Amino acid sequence: MVEILSPAGVSRARETGALVAEILRTARSRCAVGTNLLEIDRWARDMIVEAGARSCYVDYAPSFGRGPFGHYICTAVNDAVLHGLPHDYALAEGDLLTLDLAVSLEGVAADAAISFVVGESRPPESVAMISATERALSAGIAAAVPGARTGDISHAIGSVLSAAGYPVNTEFGGHGIGSTMHQDPHIANTGRRGRGYKLRPGLLLALEPWVMADTAELVTDADGWTLRSATGCRTAHSEHTIAITDDGAEILTLPR
């Protein structure tokens, strides 16, 4: 199903997006060497509850997971890239951490993800990979204008990732979002211009470029949820929820 929101619905989505951005900003500011992934999950839970919002993850039980997910935020470390299940692990200096969060507030969901290096070290390969996903996300957002098609977004994202030298997996990517977290259309992280669903105002999309340093192949962790690089290489993931407007794309998950 492709859902087109009313102006009132887009207004509510702005509030949800601001909440997602604030929770991610706060969690990132608190993460340090020694922080436990389960502690991050508790932070997310407390902030979601305090805001009167609802987690999109706790009861999430899709066909590809061993559900329900049972936690409030995805925490993916190093070779983990998607659906990272929080567990008893203390962050170490130089870990590459991705936080992915989706919540619903007043009936509208928003979804975002950030990747960053923990501690004071800045491994060049990790910094470059994070930068590539952020630049690809910016390119995808710039391509998301009324009358364009989802393939235009996919092409913009994939062009940046490929130029940076990263293999691109098309199994998981961006998606429509609105009254529920995952909707049509699917937004692959590479594609052809002029193909796919035509964008129009009121459409919300979660765009999420992610890469693995030297492979496009994923493996599922023993927890039944966490997706890791098949080679054990590091990974990165950046995501924003945007609204298509008459003037282009509005990023909803930026901190205020």
pLDDT tens readout for residues 167-208: 999 999 999 999 999 999 999 999 999 999 999 999 999 999
Q: Which CATH number fits the domain that encloses residue 244?
A: 3.90.230.10
DSSP β-bridge partners for residue 99: 75, 114
109 domain-assigned: yes
Place of tokens 């066909």: 63
Q: What tens digit of pLDDT does each residue of 47-77 get? A: 999 999 999 999 999 988 888 999 999 999 9
| Total domain count, the chain | 1
What distance in Å separates the CA atoms of residue 183 and residue 206, rounded to the nearest whole number? 10
256 domain-assigned: no
1 domain-assigned: no
DSSP β-bridge partners for residue 227: 82, 220
- What was the pLDDT predicted at 67? 82
What distance in Å separates the CA atoms of residue 27 and residue 30, rounded to the nearest whole number? 5
Q: What are phi and psi of 169, to 5 degrees?
A: -90, 135
What distance in Å separates the CA atoms of residue 187 and residue 137, rounded to the nearest whole number? 12
The residue among 15, 82, 76, 92 whose CA lies nearest residue 41 is: 76
2 domain-assigned: no
17 domain-assigned: yes
183 domain-assigned: yes
Residue range of the domain that includes 82 = 7-251
125 domain-assigned: yes
Q: With beta carbons less than 8 A apart as the criterion, state whether 74 and 98 touch.
A: yes
Query: pTM score, two decimals?
Result: 0.97
